[in-house]
Amino acid sequence: MAARRRKNVHPIDTRSLREAAARLRRGELVAFPTETVYGLGANALDEKAVAKIFAAKGRPSDNPIIVHVSDRRMLRRVVKSVPAAAEALMRKFWPGPLTLVLSKRSSVPSLVTAGLSTVAVRMPEGIARDLVRLAGVPIAAPSANVSGRPSPTTAAHVAEDFPDVFVLDGGPTAHGVESTVVALEPRLVILRQGAVTEEQLRKILPRVRGAGAPRRTRRGAPAPPASPGTKYTHYAPTRPLILFLRESSLVAYAKAHPKALVLCPTGLSFLFPKQRILALGDTPKEIAHGLFAALRTRRRGSELLALAVPRRGLGRTIMDRLERAATRIV
């Protein structure tokens, strides 16, 4: 198994990039690093290729996939028009970890967009953009994990979930959390918190807001979500995760459960002198960077205990992922 994994993991050089691009053009799947997490890509204009993504991930067919473009010309092949607000965001954040939901052209198979008339698009930075440019076609790519597992931030995570897929290894990804998804119409709203913060977006568009907690109808049933993917519980860690909203309750619980593994800011390690600890760093940027790897940890410990972070800046994204990963929030 380990040998098979290594065989399909390729350090990035001109040759492996060319091979990856050729595979994408042939309708095959390729996993590659982006600045957010690793993606599992296929030619977005080839329905059969896109179907392989859904099959490999076990992804529900009502969860649309983000399309990656290398330049504005490629963007025009997939979207009908670019409203002024989207233009302003692209100028500031592209290439980068911001996804925009725009009206789609008919050339984009409805499988990609789960039947919606809109398509989510982004222009990634670095290697991912080079690969899309080399492939010469827009690339549909969700995160390269089996549906429901934490997103992969290293090539080894990808190989764990997909030992038979060709993986480009670019080392650990820069942000460690997925792109921010913004819809422009019918109203300007953040559908998914991500690597670009609400505060950063507001400097360009002061009216932009987060979609907030899933809305509930009067009878308590969840209202239909604006962004289909956000309704799924995600990021199931290797064992139960308890998210603590208060430091004091985490400390008390940890004392009573000495075998639990504590995911905590490095600066708080001193609170758990007798405990196994997985230090996540101290700034929100460091915590985001190591979060998904921590959820995939193979270290010993009965359960994972995590502490809430303040909901501002990247903290909103970290809390969204922790809440989705948590078995219990106390």
| Residue 135 binding target from Mg ion, ligand AMP, none, CB below 5 to 8 Å by type | none
Q: Which residues of 230-267 are buried (b: 16+ CB within 10 A; e: fewer)?
A: bbeebbbbbeebbbbeeeeebbebbeebeebbbbbbee
Residue located via tokens 């459960």 = 257
Distance CA 169, CA 199 (A): 32
| Residue 173 binding target from Mg ion, ligand AMP, none, CB below 5 to 8 Å by type | none
65 binds ligand AMP (CB under 6 A): yes
Provide the H-helix boundaries in the chain.
2-7, 14-25, 47-57, 72-78, 84-93, 126-135, 155-161, 198-204, 247-256, 284-295, 314-325
Of the two residues 53 and 262, which places its CB atom closer to ligand AMP in the complex? 53
16 binds Mg ion (CB under 5 A): no
Check: CB of residue 149 under 8 Å from CB of residue 236: yes
Tell which one of 20, 44, 79, 120 touches ligand AMP (CB under 6 A): 120
314 binds ligand AMP (CB under 6 A): no
Of the two residues 140 and 306, which places its CB atom closer to ligand AMP in the complex? 140
84 Cβ neighbours under 8 A, 6+ residues apart: none
Of the two residues 41 and 170, which places its CB atom closer to ligand AMP in the complex? 41
193 binds ligand AMP (CB under 6 A): no
Residue 143 Cβ vs Mg ion, minimum distance, rounded to whole Å? 3
Phi and psi at 139, nearest 5°, equal -115, 120
236 binds ligand AMP (CB under 6 A): no
Stretch that binds Mg ion, among 63-71, 135-143, 152-160, 306-314 (CB under 5 A): 135-143
Residues that bind ligand AMP (CB under 6 A): 63-66, 101, 113, 116, 118-120, 142-143, 178, 181, 191-192, 227-230
